[in-house]
C-alpha cells in the first residue's frame, strides 16, 4: 500500500510540474487560452447547446483533466535541430494562443444564435481573466424578455396548396404563443416541403417558402406570415403555377453501367420483356425475376408523385446483394407538363465470390490457429437470394491437463445460410411484405469438436426473420432454431473427476446428448438510426436491446398428449434423446454522453435471467451466463467470477449461472493519432436459481445478492483504425464477493498487481 501511495504522489508531482510549465512557449504579451466558459440567465438557453457557436478551442485534455499533449510539447528544448526536440513536438501540440478577433467573432455568433431563439433584445458580454500568461474567457448571456408569436397565417397564390397545408395543420411546429424561434420556423419549412413533395409537387423545395414577421408596436409580440415564392418555369424564367405530377411510364433497366452511359437513352440493350404492364430492358440475360423487380417498386403508372415512395424503393433495392448500384431518374413528358416518365436503373454486382481467412486464437493462454473458406452466390434464384457456404477448421494446444491421452483441441465445421431479402411466409399479406424492409434466413450447421476430455458434434438448423422500422428499430424473430448436441465419447478421467461422483448435476446434464427446440424474439432500438454509435462522436445517443426466448414447450405438450414415457431422470425424450425446456430474457441498455469533441462518457447496464422448468432442472450450458472477461467485470478473467460468492475451484465449467447483472461506466478520450484511452468502473456478477453442491454460495437470494456484486476499475488503450478497434484493458479488482470481510474483500484499499490485475485483449468496444 505504501508503494502504491508513493507512486501516486510521484505521478501527481510530475503532473503539477508539467502544469506549471504550460506557458513555456507562450510569447511575451500573449496568453495561453486556458478555459472558455458560457453563463446564461435563461433555462431555455443552456450553455451545453450554445457552445457549438464558440469558434475558440483550448488545448485538448486527456479524460477532460490533463493537457498531456501540451505538456509533451513543452518538454522539448528550444534547439529544433535535435531529433529529440523534433520528436517531442510532433507527439505534442503547441499552446493555443488567445486571439481577440476569434473571441469577438464567437461573441457575434453567440448573440445571433440567442436572438434566433427568440431573445431578440439579448446581450452577450465578453470578459477575460488573466493570470501568469493564462487567460480564461467568459461569455455571459443576458436574455431579457423574449419575443413571442401572437398570430400565424398563410399567404399563398395556390388554393390547393393552402388546403393541403391546412389539412395537416395539427402537425405544424409553429404554435401561437411560442417563442419566436428561427430554428423551429426553418424546421417548419422542411415539413411543408416534405408534405408537398409527397403529394405530387415534384419541383417543390423549401427555398420557395419565406416568412414575413411584423412586430407589434410597444410589445414583444410578432405576427408571422408564410409566403410562397412563385415557381419559375423553364421557359424564360417566367413565373408558373405549382403543378402536381403523376407517374406516366415506369421503365426498368437492369444492366445500367454508369461509367459508360449518362442517360437511359445511351444504354446498350439487347432484349426486353413486359411484365404486369412494366417494360424491363436487359442485355443478354435478365438479372432478377420480373416479379421481384415489380414487388419492390413503391410507385406505379398513374400514381401521384411521392418522394417517400421513391426513398422506399431506394431502400428496397439497396438491400439486394445482387446489385451494386441503383438509381431512379424522372423526365417530364413533353406533351403533358404534369406527367413524369420514370427510369429505374440497376447496376449488377458480381454474382459469385470466394474468400479465405486465417486467424490466431488465444483462449486463457492456450494458443491455436484457425482457417476458413467461404463461398457466396448473390443471386441464387434470380431474386437476390444470398447463399453462403463456409468451411472452418481449428486447432488449439491445451495446457494444464493431466490424465488425458492428448493435449490438443480440434474443431471442424461447415455451415450453409440462405438469405432472402423479403418475408418468406404465407401468413403475411402482400402489401405488408412490400412495405417492410425485411429479410428471411435459413441456416444449417454442423460442428465437430474433439477435446482431450470428450468429443461433441452439434447439428443445428434455423429459420428467422429480420426487419427494420422507422430506421431506428430492428426486430428479429427466430421462428425455429433446432439443435442436436451429440456426445459419443467422454474420457474415463473426465467421467471420474466430474460426472460419476453424483454431486454435480450441471455436469451430468450438460454432458449428455440433448435436443434443443427454441424460438425467440429480439428488439433493438438505436437513437442514431443508421449512424454508427461508436464513430459518430458528435451526438449523444442511447440504445436498447431486449430479447426473449423459449425452448421445449411445444415438445412438452406433444409428449404429454402422446403419453410418452420418461427416462430414468424423469425427462421426456424425442427418439430417446431428452430435450431442454426453459425461458430466458435479456435486457441491455447503453448510453453515450458527449462531454466535448475529445471525451465521451459511456454507460452500460444489462440484466438477464434463464429459468429451467418441467423437463429440465438446469439450463443448457450454451444458454447459461458467465461473468468476467473483456466485455464484463474486467477485474476478473473470462468465466472467473461467480456465481454469487463462489470463489471457483479451478474449473470454469462450474462458474456459470442462471441470472446475470452487468454494469459499467467508461470515460473514453481521444489521445493522439489512432490512440484512444479509457478509464472504467465495472460492477456485476452471476447467480444460480437452484442450490447446486458444486457451487456453494452461488444461489440468488434477495437479502444477500447486493452484497455479492463484484466491482472493478481500470485503464484501457485502444487503437482505432476505423475499420476495426484493437482494445487493451487493464482491470483491477475493487470489491471481491468471494470474501465476506477483511483485506481480500476490499482489494481497492490493499491493491496487489500480481493478485488483482487482469489484462484483456479484444476487438471492438466492450459495449
Q: What is the DSSP string of 669-691?
A: EEEETTEEEEEEEEEEEEEBSS-
pLDDT score for 536: 44
- Asked if pLDDT for residue 394 goes beyond 50, the answer is yes
pLDDT score for 625: 94
138 and 153: one domain? no
Residue 179 domain-assigned (yes or no): yes
pLDDT score for 103: 94
- Percentage above 70 pLDDT, the chain: 91
Return the residue matching grid coordinates 408596436. Answer: 217
| Confidence bin at 453 (pLDDT 50/70/90) | confident
- Asked if pLDDT for residue 721 goes beyond 60, the answer is yes
Environment class of 513 (CB within 10 Å of its CB; exposed 0-12, middle 13-18, buried 19+): middle
- Asked if pLDDT for residue 724 goes beyond 90, the answer is no
Average pLDDT of 578-597? 94
590 and 736: one domain? yes
pLDDT score for 82: 87
What is the average pLDDT score of the chain? 88
135 and 259: one domain? no
700: cell is 440468488
- Which has the minimum average pLDDT: 122-126, 188-192, 280-284, 700-704? 280-284
Phi/psi of residue 495, nearest 5 degrees:
-60, -45
222 and 296: one domain? no
Beta bridge partners of 201: none
d(CA 209, CA 226): 7
- Asked if pLDDT for residue 706 goes beyond 60, the answer is yes
115 and 154: one domain? no
Task: For residue 302, count other CB atoms closer than 10 A to its CB.
Answer: 9
**Residue after which a domain boundary falls, among 182, 213, 240:** 240
The count of domains in the chain is 4
601 and 582: one domain? yes
- Asked if pLDDT for residue 128 goes beyond 70, the answer is yes
d(CA 116, CA 103): 20
Residue 467 domain-assigned (yes or no): yes
196 and 117: one domain? no
d(CA 710, CA 687): 12
| Confidence bin at 504 (pLDDT 50/70/90) | low
- Asked if pLDDT for residue 262 goes beyond 90, the answer is no
Residue 379 domain-assigned (yes or no): no
Q: Please write the tens of the pLDDT for every residue from 156-214.
A: 778 889 899 999 989 999 999 999 999 999 999 999 999 999 999 998 999 999 999 99
Return the residue matching grid coordinates 445460410. Answer: 417
Q: Please write the tens of the pLDDT for every residue from 213-252.
A: 998 888 889 999 999 888 765 555 566 678 899 999 999 9
| Confidence bin at 79 (pLDDT 50/70/90) | confident
With beta carbons less than 8 A apart as the criterion, state whether 516 and 483 touch.
yes
With beta carbons less than 8 A apart as the criterion, state whether 449 and 489 touch.
no
With beta carbons less than 8 A apart as the criterion, state whether 597 and 537 touch.
yes
CATH of the domain at 268: 3.10.20.310
**Residue after which a domain boundary falls, among 142, 169, 202:** 142
Beta bridge partners of 313: none
Residue spans of beta strands (DSSP E) within 575-618: 577-578, 582-596, 599-612
227 and 289: one domain? no
Q: List the one residue out of 405, 248, 407, 403 whose CA is nearest residue 330.
A: 248
Average pLDDT of 575-604? 93
**Residue after which a domain boundary falls, among 240, 264, 287:** 240
Which letter, b or e, does each residue of 51-87 get, where b requires 16 or more Cβ atoms within 10 Å of its Cβ? eebbeeebbbbbbeeebbbbbbbbbbeeeeeeeeeee
Residue 427 domain-assigned (yes or no): no
User: What are the residues whose beta carbons fall under 8 Å from the beta carbon of 147, sequence distance 6 or more?
Assistant: 118, 119, 120, 121, 179, 180, 215, 220, 221, 222
d(CA 332, CA 245): 9
With beta carbons less than 8 A apart as the criterion, state whether 525 and 591 touch.
no
User: What are the residues whose beta carbons fall under 8 Å from the beta carbon of 754, sequence distance 6 or more?
Assistant: none
pLDDT score for 531: 53
Residue 375 domain-assigned (yes or no): no
CATH of the domain at 640: 2.40.160.50
| Confidence bin at 334 (pLDDT 50/70/90) | confident
With beta carbons less than 8 A apart as the criterion, state whether 520 and 547 touch.
yes
Q: List the one residue out of 520, 517, 498, 518 whose CA is nearest residue 509.
A: 498
In this structure, what is the dihedral angle of CA atoms 241, 242, 248, 253, given to the nearest 10 degrees? 120
Three-state secondary-structure class, residue 385: coil
The residue among 233 and 22 whose pLDDT is bigger is: 22
pLDDT score for 664: 97
User: What are the residues whose beta carbons fall under 8 Å from the beta carbon of 593, sequence distance 6 or more?
Assistant: 540, 600, 601, 602, 603
With beta carbons less than 8 A apart as the criterion, state whether 231 and 244 touch.
no
User: What are the residues whose beta carbons fall under 8 Å from the beta carbon of 555, sequence distance 6 or more?
Assistant: 515, 517, 572, 574, 579, 581, 615
d(CA 64, CA 599): 7
Q: List the one residue out of 753, 664, 760 whose CA is nearest residue 717.
A: 760
Q: List the one residue out of 501, 481, 489 whose CA is nearest residue 457.
A: 489
d(CA 184, CA 747): 54
- Which has the minimum average pLDDT: 126-135, 251-260, 492-501? 492-501
d(CA 615, CA 555): 10
pLDDT score for 468: 87
202 and 113: one domain? no
234 and 168: one domain? yes
pLDDT score for 285: 87
Task: Record the pTM.
Answer: 0.86
Preceding amide of 448 cis, omega within 30: no
- Asked if pLDDT for residue 11 goes beyond 60, the answer is no
pLDDT score for 535: 42
479: cell is 421462428
Q: Please write the tens of the pLDDT for every residue from 480-492.
A: 999 999 999 988 8
Residue 310 domain-assigned (yes or no): yes
Alpha helices in 66-158 (DSSP H): 68-74, 83-91, 100-116
Q: List the one residue out of 609, 604, 612, 585 whose CA is nearest residue 522.
A: 585
Beta bridge partners of 125: 140
With beta carbons less than 8 A apart as the criterion, state whether 424 and 440 touch.
yes
Question: Residue 458, CB half-sphere, CA atoms under 13 Å: how many?
Answer: 18
Cα angle 31, 33, 38; round to 5: 135
| Confidence bin at 320 (pLDDT 50/70/90) | very high
pLDDT score for 7: 53
Element (H, E) at 704: none
- Asked if pLDDT for residue 10 goes beyond 80, the answer is no
pLDDT score for 48: 84
286 and 225: one domain? no
- Asked if pLDDT for residue 639 goes beyond 60, the answer is yes
With beta carbons less than 8 A apart as the criterion, state whether 324 and 349 touch.
yes
Between the alpha carbon of residue 378 and those of residues 220, 352, 419, 466, 754, the distances in Å are: 64, 6, 9, 18, 52
- Which has the minimum average pLDDT: 492-496, 535-539, 573-577? 535-539
pLDDT score for 186: 94
Residue 413 domain-assigned (yes or no): no
Question: Residue 352, CB half-sphere, CA atoms under 13 Å: how many?
Answer: 4
- Asked if pLDDT for residue 390 goes beyond 60, the answer is yes
d(CA 475, CA 192): 31
Residue 540 domain-assigned (yes or no): yes
Average pLDDT of 645-661? 84
d(CA 137, CA 54): 11
Cα angle 350, 352, 355; round to 5: 110
Domain assignment of residue 283, given as a range: 246-348
Phi/psi of residue 505, nearest 5 degrees:
-70, -35
518 and 644: one domain? yes
- Which has the minimum average pLDDT: 62-66, 284-288, 331-335, 697-701? 62-66
Amino acid at each position: 500500500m505504501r508503494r502504491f501511495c508513493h507512486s501516486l504522489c510521484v505521478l501527481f508531482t510530475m503532473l503539477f510540474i508539467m502544469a506549471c510549465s504550460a506557458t513555456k512557449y507562450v510569447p511575451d504579451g500573449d496568453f495561453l487560452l486556458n478555459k472558455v466558459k458560457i453563463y446564461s440567465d435563461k433555462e431555455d438557453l443552456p450553455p451545453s447547446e450554445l457552445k457549438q457557436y464558440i469558434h475558440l478551442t483550448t488545448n485538448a485534455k486527456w479524460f477532460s483533466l490533463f493537457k498531456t499533449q501540451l505538456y509533451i510539447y513543452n518538454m522539448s528544448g528550444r534547439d529544433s535541430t535535435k531529433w529529440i526536440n523534433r520528436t517531442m513536438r510532433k507527439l505534442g501540440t503547441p499552446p493555443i494562443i488567445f486571439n481577440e478577433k476569434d473571441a469577438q467573432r464567437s461573441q457575434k455568433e453567440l448573440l445571433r444564435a440567442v436572438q434566433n431563439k427568440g431573445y431578440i433584445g439579448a446581450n452577450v458580454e465578453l470578459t477575460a481573466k488573466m493570470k501568469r500568461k493564462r487567460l480564461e474567457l467568459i461569455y455571459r448571456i443576458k436574455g431579457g424578455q423574449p419575443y413571442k408569436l401572437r398570430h400565424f397565417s398563410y399567404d399563398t397564390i395556390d388554393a390547393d396548396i393552402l388546403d393541403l397545408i391546412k389539412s395537416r395543420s395539427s402537425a405544424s411546429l409553429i404554435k401561437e404563443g411560442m417563442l419566436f424561434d428561427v430554428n423551429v420556423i426553418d424546421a417548419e419549412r422542411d415539413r411543408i416541403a416534405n408534405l408537398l413533395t409527397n403529394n405530387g409537387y415534384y419541383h417543390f423545395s423549401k427555398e420557395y417558402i419565406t416568412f414575413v414577421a411584423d412586430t407589434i408596436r410597444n410589445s414583444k409580440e410578432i405576427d408571422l406570415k408564410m409566403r410562397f415564392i412563385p415557381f419559375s418555369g423553364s421557359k424564360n424564367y417566367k413565373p408558373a403555377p405549382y403543378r402536381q405530377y403523376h407517374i406516366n411510364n415506369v421503365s426498368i433497366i437492369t444492366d445500367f453501367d454508369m461509367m459508360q452511359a449518362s442517360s437511359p437513352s445511351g444504354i446498350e440493350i439487347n432484349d426486353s420483356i413486359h411484365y404486369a404492364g412494366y417494360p424491363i430492358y436487359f442485355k443478354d440475360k435478365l438479372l432478377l425475376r420480373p416479379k421481384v423487380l415489380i414487388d419492390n417498386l413503391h410507385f406505379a403508372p398513374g400514381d401521384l408523385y411521392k418522394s417517400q415512395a421513391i426513398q422506399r424503393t431506394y431502400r428496397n433495392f439497396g438491400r439486394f446483394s445482387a446489385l451494386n448500384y441503383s438509381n431512379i431518374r424522372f423526365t417530364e413528358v413533353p406533351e403533358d407538363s404534369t406527367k413524369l416518365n420514370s427510369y429505374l436503373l440497376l447496376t449488377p454486382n458480381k454474382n459469385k465470390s470466394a474468400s479465405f481467412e486465417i486467424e490466431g486464437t488465444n483462449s486463457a493462454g492456450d494458443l491455436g490457429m484457425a482457417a476458413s473458406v467461404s463461398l457466396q452466390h448473390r443471386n441464387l434464384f434470380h431474386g437476390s437470394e444470398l447463399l453462403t457456404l463456409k468451411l472452418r477448421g481449428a486447432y488449439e494446444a491445451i495446457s494444464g491437463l493431466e490424465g488425458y491421452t492428448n493435449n490438443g483441441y480440434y474443431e471442424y465445421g461447415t455451415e450453409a445460410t440462405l438469405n432472402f431479402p423479403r418475408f418468406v411466409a404465407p401468413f403475411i399479406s402482400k402489401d405488408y411484405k412490400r412495405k417492410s424492409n425485411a429479410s428471411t434466413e435459413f441456416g444449417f450447421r454442423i460442428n465437430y469438436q474433439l477435446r482431450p476430455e470428450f468429443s461433441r458434434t452439434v447439428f443445428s438448423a434455423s429459420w428467422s426473420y429480420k426487419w427494420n422500422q422507422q430506421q431506428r428499430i430492428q426486430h428479429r424473430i427466430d421462428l425455429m432454431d433446432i439443435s442436436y448436441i451429440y456426445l459419443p465419447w467422454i474420457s474415463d478421467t473426465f467421467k471420474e473427476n466430474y460426472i460419476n461422483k453424483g454431486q454435480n448435476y450441471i455436469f451430468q446434464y450438460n454432458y449428455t446428448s440433448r435436443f434443443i427446440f427454441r424460438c425467440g424474439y429480439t428488439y433493438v432500438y438505436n437513437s442514431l438510426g443508421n449512424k454508427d454509435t461508436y464513430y459518430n462522436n458528435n451526438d449523444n445517443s442511447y440504445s436498447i436491446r431486449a430479447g426473449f426466448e423459449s425452448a421445449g414447450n411445444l415438445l412438452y405438450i406433444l409428449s404429454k398428449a402422446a403419453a410418452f414415457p420418461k427416462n430414468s431422470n424423469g425427462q421426456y425424450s424425442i427418439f430417446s434423446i431428452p430435450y431442454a425446456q426453459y425461458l430466458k430474457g435479456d435486457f441491455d441498455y447503453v448510453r453515450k454522453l458527449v462531454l466535448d469533441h475529445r471525451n465521451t462518457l459511456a454507460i452500460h447496464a444489462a440484466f438477464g435471467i434463464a429459468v429451467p422448468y418441467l423437463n429440465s432442472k438446469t439450463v443448457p450450458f450454451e444458454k447459461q451466463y458467465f461473468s468476467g472477461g473483456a466485455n464484463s467485470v474486467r477485474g476478473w478473467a473470462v468465466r472467473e467470477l461467480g456465481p454469487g460468492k463462489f470463489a471457483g475451484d479451478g474449473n470454469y465449467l462450474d462458474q456459470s449461472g442462471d441470472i446475470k447483472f452487468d454494469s459499467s461506466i467508461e470515460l473514453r478520450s481521444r489521445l493522439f493519432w489512432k490512440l484512444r484511452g479509457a478509464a472504467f468502473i465495472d460492477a456485476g456478477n452471476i447467480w444460480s436459481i437452484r442450490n447446486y453442491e458444486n457451487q456453494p454460495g452461488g444461489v440468488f437470494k434477495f437479502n444477500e445478492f447486493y452484497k455479492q456484486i463484484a466491482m472493478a476499475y481500470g485503464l484501457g488503450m485502444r487503437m482505432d483504425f476505423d475499420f476495426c478497434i484493437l482494445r487493451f484493458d487493464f482491470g483491477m479488482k475493487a470489491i471481491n464477493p468471494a470474501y465476506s470481510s477483511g483485506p481480500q474483500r476490499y482489494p481497492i484499499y490493499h491493491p496487489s498487481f500480481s493478485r488483482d490485475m487482469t489484462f484483456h485483449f479484444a476487438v471492438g468496444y466492450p459495449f
